[in-house]
Amino acid sequence: MESDFLDYQKLFKSAPGRYLVLKPDFTIVAATDAYLQATMTKRDEVLGRNLFQVFPDNPHDAHATGVRNLKASLERVLQNKAADVMTTQKYDIRRPQEDGGAFEERYWDPTNWPVFGEDGEVTHIIHRVDDVTEMVQLRHTASVQDELRKRAQELEQAVAQRTAEHRETIAELEAFCYSLSHDMRAPLRAIQSFSQLVLADCGDGLNSECRDHLEKSIRSAERLDRLITEVLAFTRLSKQEIKTTAVDVDKLVRQLVSEREEWQPINADIQIESPLLPMLGHEASLTQCITNLLSNAAKFVLPGVKPHVRVYTEAFDGVVRLSVQDNGIGIDADGQRRLFQMFQRIQSDDQYQGSGVGLAIVRKAVERMSGKVGVESEPQKGSHFWVELPKGPS
């Protein structure tokens, strides 16, 4: 029978598929080219050698149990005298040294079946493998993708739930803040009014220290009232519905400047470069933005320096930029990073009074109108604040 296999080795060599022919002691007597190519071996390296000497159990990977499982399958063939179909096995195939000698991970589906002699004993075992590496990798990739999709969905649900909870909490805090701020104004104004009455009616009978205390109380009450007013304005911006319409910016700026005494020519030089281009915005919100920007431009100047403010517009790519440029004290880089946040005062209150809320109102108002706000400034070289909104109809 063995001579028959030797006679057919030439035919077996060129047979398609990955096959080995083994003796009962697992000596390799024939191998197809496809098998040798798959295992990265040469014919003279395997023929006449024991299979498990050619492919020893690989100790470098605890999960590479394919060789051990193959030996157990071959032993079952000899014992049961029946074919044995193995499940998918993982093998680590070492590349030749000229290719780096690294291990390559492969997945094969092996099948082993006996060849019987005339006496009914097993004379040879035919071992065949089908390479299913790509299929396993695809299944693994699909499994990973499914797991990633599942986790992404879970994350989206968690984020949506957390966002809803945060929105509810923020809404409650905003309502509480609005109610608290609103209710504080009544007793605060009472303190302010009664202090003014005491100063007016009894001021002549008070010494200078007492009058000074009352005046400080009045100024503090006025400052706190302004702060509460601005906090309420900021809260209203977060709550109110914003509907954008065409705003005549030129008319709006001129009207605002005419209404404020501190912006008149005797106090400040405000140059309006007409015509200011129209914008799409919310007129009440835009009014707050322009008022705060002009107030800051007129306020933050060195002592004894008359404010010079330039107001102009530019159009580009369907957007209008409204600019307010001043000759003020300027802002350093660190201050610019904090400028539009709540309660951020860049200058001390001893020098320039303020609440630190005005520019936060500008930022919130512009964001609600789907616009942008920014600043360009250097210390002692003035500041350039700008607001960008969609261009309005001419």
| pLDDT tens, position by position, 190-221 | 777 878 888 787 877 788 888 788 888 877 77
More confident residue, 42 or 179: 42
pLDDT greater than 50 at residue 1: no
Range of weakest confidence among 19-28, 164-173, 176-185, 275-284: 176-185
Q: Could you report the per-residue pLDDT of 304-313, keeping only the tens digit for each? A: 899 999 999 9
pLDDT at 292 over 80: yes
Q: In sequence order, what are the residues at sequence separation of 6 or more whose Cβ sits closer than 8 angstroms to the Cβ of residue 50?
A: 25, 26, 27, 28
Describe the crossing of helices 208-239 and 358-368 by its angle, rounded to 10 degrees. 10
If phi > 0 it is left, if psi is from -120 to 50 it is alpha, else beta; for residue 94 that is beta
CA 209/CA 201 separation, integer angstroms? 16
User: 3-class secondary structure for the chain?
Assistant: CHHHHHHCHHHHHCCCCEEEEECCCCEEEEECHHHHHHHCCCHHHHCCCEHHHHCCCCCCCCCCCHHHHHHHHHHHHHHHCCCEECCCEEEEEECCHHHCCCEEEEEEEEEEEEEECCCCCEEEEEEEEEECHHHHHHHHHHHHHHHHHHHHHHHHHHHHHHHHHHHHHHHHHHHHHHHHHHHHHHHHHHHHHHHHHHHHHHHHHCCHHHHHHHHHHHHHHHHHHHHHHHHHHHHHHHHCCCCCEEECHHHHHHHHHHHCHHHCCCCCEEEECCCCCCEEECHHHHHHHHHHHHHHHHHCCCCCCCCEEEEEEEEECCEEEEEEEECCCCCCHHHHHHCCCCCCCCCCCCCCCCCCCHHHHHHHHHHHCCCEEEEEECCCCCEEEEEEEEECCC
Torsion (CA) 53, 58, 63, 69 in degrees, nearest 10: 10
Instruction: Please tell me the predicted confidence (pLDDT) of residue 23.
Output: 93
Torsion angles phi and psi, residue 331, rounded to 5: -140, 135
> What pLDDT score does 104 carry?
76
At 300, the pLDDT band (50, 70, 90 cuts) reads: confident
pLDDT at 99 (0 to 100): 63
Interval 148-166: pLDDT, tens: 788 888 888 888 888 887 7
pLDDT at position 148 is 78
> Average of pLDDT values for 63-85?
86
Pairing mode, if any, of strands 269-272 and 308-316?
parallel
How high is the pLDDT of residue 76?
94
How far, in Å, are 181, 188, 203, 218, 324 from residue 195 at the CA level? 21, 11, 10, 6, 38
More confident residue, 276 or 180: 276
Domains for the chain: give ranges and CATH numbers. 2-131 (3.30.450.20), 133-239 (1.10.287.130), 241-390 (3.30.565.10)
* Percent of the chain at pLDDT exceeding 90: 26
Question: In the predicted model, what is the mean pLDDT of the chain?
Answer: 81
The pLDDT assigned to 14 comes to 65
Distance CA 206, CA 214 (A): 10
Mean pLDDT score, 314-339: 89
Residue 374 has pLDDT above 60, yes or no: yes
278 against 232, higher pLDDT: 278
Arithmetic mean of pLDDT, 333-362: 70
Residue 127 CB-density burial (10 A; 0-12 exposed, 13-18 middle, 19+ buried): buried
Answer positive or negative: Cα dihedral of 207, 210, 214, 220.
positive
Residue 314 in this model has a pLDDT that exceeds 60: yes
Rounded average pLDDT over 276-287: 90
Its pTM surpasses 0.85:
no
Is it the case that residue 4 has pLDDT exceeding 70? no
Q: pLDDT for 13-67, tens place per residue?
A: 666 788 889 999 999 998 888 888 888 888 888 999 999 888 886 655 544 577 8
